[in-house]
Amino acid sequence: MSDFPKRISIKEEGPREGFQFEKGQIPTARKIELIDSLSRTGLTQIQVVSFVPAKNVPGMADAEEVAMGFRRAPGVAYTALWLNERGLERAIATERLDIKGLLNLTASETFLQRNQKRSMTENLEAMRAIAAMYKRRDVPVERMSIAAAFGCNFEGDIPVATLIEQASQMREAAAEHGFDIKVLSLADTMAWATPQSIRRVVGAVREAYPDLQMSLHLHDTRGMGIANAYAGLEMGVALFDAAVGGLGGCPFAAHSGAAGNVCTEDLVFMCEEMGIESGVDLEALLETARLAEDIVAHPLPGAVKTGGSLRALRRKIAGEAVA
């Protein structure tokens, strides 16, 4: 039995996760150009940069310049990622971003060591310290996230019990500081998810926490991104992270090939054809996807930017029939 939502909300992560993954430096002006183009598509959430050490993620060395350069559009929330208090301070200092806190844990200790050089115990303490930091700085927190939630290239499948335990740990830390968590995001960081595991994991976590909204962060490394999004829709998931053109991936996941996020325009297209609203202008988004491909100067995996939307084709056919 399916539980499709009537409307979805997309958090666009192409400018942040996409550009941090690209080899070579993308000019700052072109990053800003992409953000401004995304702002004209109807998307309401765009994650624009990461405030992380440039030595670790060279693609984010110009984070301040990007944050100061784009044009804010009404009704769009512009967010950023940070991993510690220094990163948060940098984000706040721009005075141009929507500062919202996120609590995060990682379900794989090996991946955690490679990504942040921490043990699970150390990461739990770091998460609690982050929660205290948000309270101290009066930063709102409504979301929590689990990385490597569906599997790990170094450890294999992740037990659902691990996810339920980590969600409980984050809720406890949030409650200690007066935060009311409303959303749990499950990140398929290394593209282990399949439609079957999406249904199984989302179902089990929702059963444990029926009051939480579920969000999915999906990668398309093994070609399962849009199929997994469909499975999420079947389970009633209405919140998705995506990246225009299929930009992105995780630089610490040890993939030998492309490791992009689920493609924003392909997700919007699928939902449009299913009668699920997104609030996004698909034709404007397709133009932005082509712009993204031009900026990175290599083909991006998104399919609809090449094939075009069926709505546009139907209009063309109808126009030719009238003529």
Tell me what pLDDT residue 116 has: 84
Tell me what pLDDT residue 255 has: 47
Between the alpha carbon of residue 203 and those of residues 2, 168, 198, 240, 282, the distances in Å are 12, 16, 8, 16, 30
Tell me what pLDDT residue 258 has: 44
Residues of the chain with pLDDT under 70: 1, 249-259, 322-323
pLDDT in tens, 256-278: 444 579 999 999 999 999 999 99
CB 27 within 8 A of CB 66: no
Q: What is the pTM of this model?
A: 0.94
SS3 238: coil
Tell me what pLDDT residue 1 has: 55
Set 152, 250, 263, 271: catalytic member:
250
Tell me what pLDDT residue 254 has: 47
Q: Is 250 a catalytic residue?
A: yes
Domains, the chain, in order of start with CATH, read 9-322 (3.20.20.70)
Q: Report the 10 Å Cβ neighbour count for 251.
A: 18
| Average pLDDT taken over every residue of the chain | 94
pLDDT in tens, 191-237: 999 999 999 999 999 999 999 999 999 999 999 999 999 999 999 99
Tell me what pLDDT residue 24 has: 82
Tell me what pLDDT residue 180 has: 97
CB 184 within 8 A of CB 145: yes
